[in-house]
């Protein structure tokens, strides 16, 4: 009896049985520091603010008190550096986009080009060699604008020629007389109102150009290239920064993403259409807000349609 008691005591002292150990080791464990955080989707207001900030990033900011520049008249499109059928297909799609987005397009084959798209042959060298600060093609730009064009990276260079006018879209007589003396940077100082009821100026795009490496364009559809050129010329834009990525699909990432959009996205259309829908005197702040609002509304409509199809 004493021997039996001693055996039982030794078993208990030995701890859990091998079976117990296998059972315990089979239980799932949560690694330390692996807390799961569930992030709710942004509210509509938060999404508007996100897209507003993104818009401010890609739309080149106007100077103080200037509205965002835009074409005031239908555009005349010219495409260079491609076979004639491809060049005309791109030009026609740009014209169609301009009409759809409220700008208008001149179909006269003899019109003076105000939108030029040039596909640069390999013989032109890398984009860094296409332009210099003293290049005739950008000589009409202010020093600040030229520096911005030359600072662009990637296979594209784009710029807009902007003329500052009074609130009715008429030129400033005094500024025109002083144009040979002062650069266009001087324009904002010339916009002091002639009367208290006329305090606002307008900024007109009178010409736009985009240069694209023909090698970099290889593999894209004519529609993609035309839509990219549309957004880069009809509104003074920069390509989005690659650091954080775009928070919304946009054709402006055409040369940066492995799978870019096949055409202009709803955001791209809101970007251009809302600018051209606004008054020519609208402040930049108002335009940014309108673009973000329209983009969020488009997202909501798309989601509602998708939800309805799933039911």
pLDDT digits (tens, 9 = 90+) for 127-146: 999 999 999 999 988 888 89
Residue 78: which of 105, 131, 118, 108 has the closest Cα?
118
pLDDT of residue 53: 92
Residue 303 binned pLDDT confidence (cut-offs 50, 70, 90): confident
Which tokens go with 289?
Answer: 């807000």
Stretch (H or E) spanning 115: strand 115-120
pLDDT of residue 263: 97
One DSSP character per residue, 247-272 reads SS--GGGTTT-SS--SS--HHHHHHH
pLDDT of residue 244: 58
pLDDT digits (tens, 9 = 90+) for 11-49: 455 555 544 544 455 555 656 656 666 667 778 889 999
Place of tokens 């916009």: 191
pLDDT of residue 306: 76
User: Which of the residue ranges 24-33, 101-110, 191-200, 209-218 would you say has the lowest mean pLDDT?
Assistant: 191-200
Burial class (CB in 10 A: 0-12, 13-18, 19+), 264: buried
Instruction: Tally Cβ neighbours within 10 Å of residue 162.
Output: 24
Burial class (CB in 10 A: 0-12, 13-18, 19+), 168: exposed
pLDDT of residue 295: 93
pLDDT exceeds cutoff 50 at 205: yes
pLDDT of residue 199: 43
pLDDT of residue 117: 98
Q: Which residues pair with 157 in a beta bridge?
A: 211
pLDDT exceeds cutoff 90 at 223: yes
What does the DSSP 8-state code read for residue 180?
A: T
CA gyration radius for the chain? 30
pLDDT of residue 27: 54
pLDDT of residue 194: 43
% residues pLDDT > 90 (the chain): 54
Backbone angles phi, psi at 112, to 5 degrees: -80, 120
Instruction: Tally Cβ neighbours within 10 Å of residue 311.
Output: 4
Mean residue pLDDT of the chain comes to 82
Q: What is the mean pLDDT of residues 197-204?
A: 68
Q: Best-predicted range by mean pLDDT among 79-88, 185-194, 198-207, 271-280?
A: 79-88
User: Taking the mean position of all CA atoms in its chain, how far away is CA 15?
Assistant: 67
Residue 280 binned pLDDT confidence (cut-offs 50, 70, 90): confident
pLDDT exceeds cutoff 80 at 64: no
Q: Where are the domains of the chain?
A: 45-305
User: Taking the mean position of all CA atoms in its chain, how far away is CA 31?
Assistant: 42
pLDDT exceeds cutoff 70 at 190: no
pLDDT digits (tens, 9 = 90+) for 171-182: 766 554 544 444
Residue 118 binned pLDDT confidence (cut-offs 50, 70, 90): very high
The CA-based angle 128-131-137, given to 5 degrees, is 160
Residue 292 binned pLDDT confidence (cut-offs 50, 70, 90): very high
Residue 307 binned pLDDT confidence (cut-offs 50, 70, 90): confident
pLDDT of residue 218: 95
């Amino acid at each position: 009896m004493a021997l039996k008691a001693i055996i039982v005591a030794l078993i208990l002292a030995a701890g859990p049985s091998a079976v117990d150990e296998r059972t315990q080791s089979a239980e799932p464990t949560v690694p330390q520091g692996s807390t799961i955080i569930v992030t709710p989707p942004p509210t509509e207001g938060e999404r508007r603010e996100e897209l507003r900030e993104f818009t401010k990033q890609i739309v080149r900011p106007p100077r103080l008190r200037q509205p965002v520049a835009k074409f005031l008249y239908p555009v005349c499109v010219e495409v260079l550096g491609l076979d004639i059928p491809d060049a005309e297909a791109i030009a026609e799609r740009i014209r169609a986009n301009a009409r759809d987005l409220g700008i208008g397009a001149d179909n006269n084959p003899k019109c003076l080009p105000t939108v030029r798209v040039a596909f640069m042959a390999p013989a032109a060298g890398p984009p860094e060699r296409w332009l210099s600060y003293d290049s005739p093609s950008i000589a009409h730009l202010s020093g600040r604008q030229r520096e911005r064009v030359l600072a662009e990276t990637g296979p594209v260079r784009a710029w807009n020629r902007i003329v500052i006018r009074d609130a009715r879209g008429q030129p400033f007589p005094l500024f025109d007389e002083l144009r040979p003396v002062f650069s266009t940077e001087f324009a904002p100082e010339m916009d002091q109102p002639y009367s208290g009821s006329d305090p606002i100026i307008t900024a007109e795009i009178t010409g736009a150009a985009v240069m694209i490496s023909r090698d970099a364009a290889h593999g894209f559809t004519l529609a993609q290239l035309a839509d990219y050129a549309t957004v880069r010329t009809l509104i003074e834009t920069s390509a989005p920064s690659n650091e954080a990525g775009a928070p919304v699909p946009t054709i402006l990432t055409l040369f940066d993403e492995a799978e870019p959009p096949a055409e202009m996205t709803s955001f791209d259309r809101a970007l251009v259409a809302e600018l051209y829908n606004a008054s020519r005197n609208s402040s930049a702040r108002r335009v940014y807000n309108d673009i973000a609002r329209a983009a969020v509304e488009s997202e909501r409509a798309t989601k509602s349609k998708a939800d309805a199809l799933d039911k």
